[in-house]
Amino acid sequence: MKQSLLLGLADDRSHEGYQFFAECLDEMLFEYTLDTYKPSSHNPSTLAAEAIEVVEDIDAGIIDRGNFEHIRDEMRFMISKDVIAKSLLPVDYEKLLNECVADNISQSKIRFELILVSLAAAKYCNTCVSALRDLVRIGREKHEIRFIARSFVTSLLRLGYTRRFVREVLREKIQLVKDKSPEQRLEDFFSAFDGKAKNYRVVFAGSQLFKKFAQASQDMGASVAELPPAEISPEDLEKLSVQAAGRIFIAVEIRAMDKFAARRRAEEKIERITNVYSLFHHAILPAWSEFAWVMEKGEAQGSLIRPPIPAMSRTLDARPTKAGVQMALAVRKFGLEEESMEQFDRLVGLHGAAGRTSSTSIQLLNLWSALESSVPKVVRGARVKSVSDTLRPLMRLQYVCNIFDDLLSDMFRFDSRLVKKALRDVGDQDGNLSRVNLVKLMYLDVHQATRNEALTELSSYPLLLNRWNDIRERFKSPGEVRKVLDTHDQRVEWQMRRIYRTRNLYVHSGRKVELLDMLVENAHGYLDTFFDGIFAMVKMESSVTTIDHAWLVASERVRHWDKMLSVKDAVYTSENVVGLVLGPMAQLIRRS
Reduce the DSSP state of residue 103 to 3 states and report it. coil
Q: What is the pLDDT of residue 337?
A: 66
The CA-based dihedral angle spanning residues 103, 107, 112, 115, taken in that order and rounded to the nearest 10 degrees: -140
Q: What percent of the chain has pLDDT over 70?
A: 93
> Is residue 581 a contact partner of residue 561, using CB atoms and an 8 Å limit?
no
Residue 367 has pLDDT above 70, yes or no: yes
The enclosing H or E element of 564 equals: helix 547-565
pLDDT of 308-365, one tens digit each?
988 888 776 655 555 566 666 666 666 556 777 788 889 989 999 999 888 899 999 9
Give the residue from 390, 369, 363, 433 showing the smallest Cα distance to 534. Answer: 390
Nearest to 554 by CA among 367, 328, 395: 395
pLDDT tens for 6-48 read: 777 766 678 899 999 999 999 999 999 999 999 999 999 999 9
The pLDDT assigned to 327 comes to: 62
pLDDT band, very low/low/confident/very high, at 61 (cuts 50, 70, 90): confident
Own/partner pairs, 473-476, CB within 8 angstroms, 24+ separation: 475/400, 475/581, 476/443
* Residues 182, 6 contacting (CB under 8 angstroms): yes
C-alpha to C-alpha distance for 15 and 5, rounded to whole angstroms: 12
Alpha-carbon gap, residue 484 to 455, rounded angstroms: 24
- Give residues with Cβ within 8 angstroms of 470, minimum separation 6: 143
More confident residue, 144 or 431: 144
As a whole-number percent, the residues of the chain with pLDDT over 90 amount to 73
Gap between the Cα atoms of 209 and 206, Å rounded:
8
Mean pLDDT for the chain overall: 90
Q: What is the pLDDT, as a whole number, of residue 338?
A: 72
Q: Name the 3-class secondary structure at 277.
A: helix
Q: What is the pLDDT of residues 498-542, one digit of tens each?
A: 999 999 888 877 777 777 999 999 999 999 999 999 988 988 887
Three-state DSSP class for residue 458: helix
pLDDT over 90 (residue 374): yes
Cα–Cα separations (whole angstroms), residue 154 to 212, 299, 420: 42, 28, 37
**pLDDT by residue (tens digit) across 420-431?**
889 988 875 554
| CA nearest to 25, candidates 13, 35, 39 | 39
Separation CA 55–CA 72 (nearest Å): 10
List CB contacts of 314: < 8 A, sequence separation 6 or more.
31, 32, 521
* Per-residue pLDDT tens digits for 189-205: 999 999 999 999 999 99
Shortest CA distance to 442 belongs to which of 400, 397, 486? 400
**pLDDT band per the 50, 70, 90 thresholds, residue 265:** very high
Cα atoms found within 13 Å of the Cα of residue 506, Cβ hemisphere only: 20
- Identify the burial level of 235 via C-beta atoms within 10 angstroms of its C-beta, where 0-12 means exposed, 13-18 middle and 19 or more buried: exposed
pTM of structure: 0.91
- Residue 339: the pLDDT is 74
Degrees to nearest 5, angle at CA 401 with 395 and 403: 95
Q: Are 38 and 45 in contact (CB under 8 A)?
A: no
CA 271/CA 292 separation, integer angstroms? 14
Closest CA to 200 of 121, 305, 129: 305
Give the model's pLDDT for residue 195.
94
Q: Are 285 and 212 in contact (CB under 8 A)?
A: no
